[in-house]
Amino acid sequence: MIPRLTISPLQWMRSPYGVLDGALASGYTTFTTRLPVMGSCLVTGDPVLIGEISRNPDLIGGRGTEALRPVVGEHSLIALEGERHRVHRSVLLPHFFSGNAETIDRVNRKWADALIPQIGMHEVFNAGEFLSRITLHAIIELIFGDLPEQRHNEAFQLIEAWKSSFSQAAVLFLKILHVDLGRISPWGRFLINRSQVHDFIRRQLREVRRAPDGSVFSRIAHAMPEHGAPLSDDEIVSETVTFLLFGHDTTAASLAWALTHLLADGSASERARAEVSTAGESAPPEALPFLRSAIEESMRLCPVVVHLTRHAVAATQVGSHAVLRDTRVLPCMYLAHRNPQVFDRPNAFVADRFLANSSRYRHAYFPFGLGDRVCAGMPMALRQMVLLLACLLRHGRFELVEPAKIRPVRKLVIIVPSGGPMLRRVDR
């Protein structure tokens, strides 16, 4: 019999990790509950049930993201379902990430080399914000190519301004605030900033339609899917926004957690520094297996996305549990990743855990999601995190400022370390 838990909506919004720790402490990796926005849900970290969920055609993705529609629009991969979702993936993914590892490495190195040396000796800085600047510059260049400096900076500033207009989750999630009074209202500012980002993308679209420039964006603008209609302008705008926004803060936050775990573990830090120095300055991510393992282990302990959301389009069954139509099923990374039946010492940071073959964690480890909706940016994010971590470690030594005070906090839909975390550069 699956237990039913009562969860305070406020506690869930503030700290889902805390709530899930409570469930684990009671021995529950699967339970039913009611959650804010989602209503009645089955939540599970059991790999057998998660495997079942990922194969069940009546449990679909896409509908769990309504609150993000004002940001990404109706035509985003994260919102689409069925045939149109498949067409978009087939058009977008080959252009984004296959066969362009060199470009991903070159662009990330370029921005790391430009920004990391600006961190002064003894400077205290918010690592999450700092990394988010690097990853935003990188994703702009990876999508639009090597734009003239002024145009690149315009994109950067428009996106930062738009993001700051919904940094308070209430602006997006409280419909009562959706009143457009121009610049004097939060919603008005959100709409104005959004239309400026859209205008930038549409301008860029007109240019690459007139004169293709070989960039990812240009290739997508001219792409013809094997089946179905090509992407319309609205669809391209929606997808570009999705990749720009979801393609940088998630990576920055995951890397911020990796720094938090690594810097709190002296011997793992030294091992990481030794690997970086032996591999040399231009080493590709493949030459840094310990760094990659430490990052994967950090994503196990602190997945920035806590759970996936699957919607039952028909009454169905998960294990012995009957799932009613129009209810939600949440494969939960946090529960799965700390499942004591799968992981030894589930709450410890074991930096080299993923050096050994990690395929035994099938359906028990999925920080990037599952099945036909698995994160479209996963190959790039993994390369990028290893590379940026190596650039940081090569640049100097860092320490956590007040490590005992760092706790998981919500930043819209992801969980980040409080304060960024704050780091201090201490030595060469």
Which residues of the chain form contacts with ligand HEM (CB under 6 A)?
A: 61, 77-78, 89, 139, 242-243, 246-247, 250-251, 254, 304-305, 308, 367-370, 373-377, 380-381
Give 76's strand partners.
Answer: none
Identify which of residues 89 and 424 has a Cβ nearer to ligand HEM in the complex: 89
The single-letter DSSP state of residue 12 is H
User: Which uninterrupted H or E stretch holds 420?
Assistant: none
- Least CB distance from residue 316 to ligand HEM, whole Å? 18
Least distance in angstroms from the C-beta of 248 to ligand HEM: 7
The residue among 306 and 423 lying less far from ligand HEM, judged by its C-beta, is 306
In the bound complex, what is the minimum distance in angstroms from residue 243's beta carbon to ligand HEM?
5
Residue placing its CB nearer to ligand HEM in the complex, 187 or 239: 239
Minimum CB distance to ligand HEM, residue 417 (Å)? 14
Q: What is the DSSP letter of 346?
A: T
CA distances to 130, 374, 420 from 127, in Å: 5, 27, 5
Contact 328, 34 (CB under 8 A): no
Query: Closest distance between ligand HEM and the C-beta of residue 369, in Å?
Result: 2
CB of 313 to ligand HEM, least distance (A): 15
How many Cα atoms sit within 13 Å of 262 on the Cβ side? 30
- Please provide the DSSP assignment of 119-159 as one string: S-TT-EEEHHHHHHHHHHHHHHHHHH-S--HHHHHHHHHHH
Residue 403 host element (H or E): none
Bridge-partner residues for 208, per DSSP?
none
Residue 337 Cβ vs ligand HEM, minimum distance, rounded to whole Å: 12
Reported as half-sphere exposure (CB side, CA atoms, 13 A), residue 335 has a value of 26
Which residue's CB is nearer to ligand HEM, number 162 or number 365?
365
Question: Closest CB to ligand HEM among 191 and 231?
Answer: 231
Tokens describing residue 260: 């938090």
Beta strands 39-44 and 30-35, pairing class: antiparallel
In the complex with ligand HEM, the residue whose CB is nearer, 291 or 380, is: 380
* Closer residue to ligand HEM (CB): 246 or 365: 246
Distance, in Å, from the CA atom of 287 to the CA atom of 193, rounded to the nearest integer, reads 41
Rounded Cα gap, residues 185 and 177, in angstroms: 9
Backbone phi, psi, residue 28, to 5°? -100, 120
Q: How far is the CB of 426 from ligand HEM (least distance, A)?
A: 27
The residue assigned the tokens 């990876």 is 142
Closest to ligand HEM by CB, 191 vs 301, is 301
The distance of closest approach from Cβ of residue 303 to ligand HEM in the complex, given in angstroms and rounded to an integer, is 7
Contact 131, 93 (CB under 8 A): no
Whose Cβ is closer to ligand HEM: residue 243's or residue 334's? 243
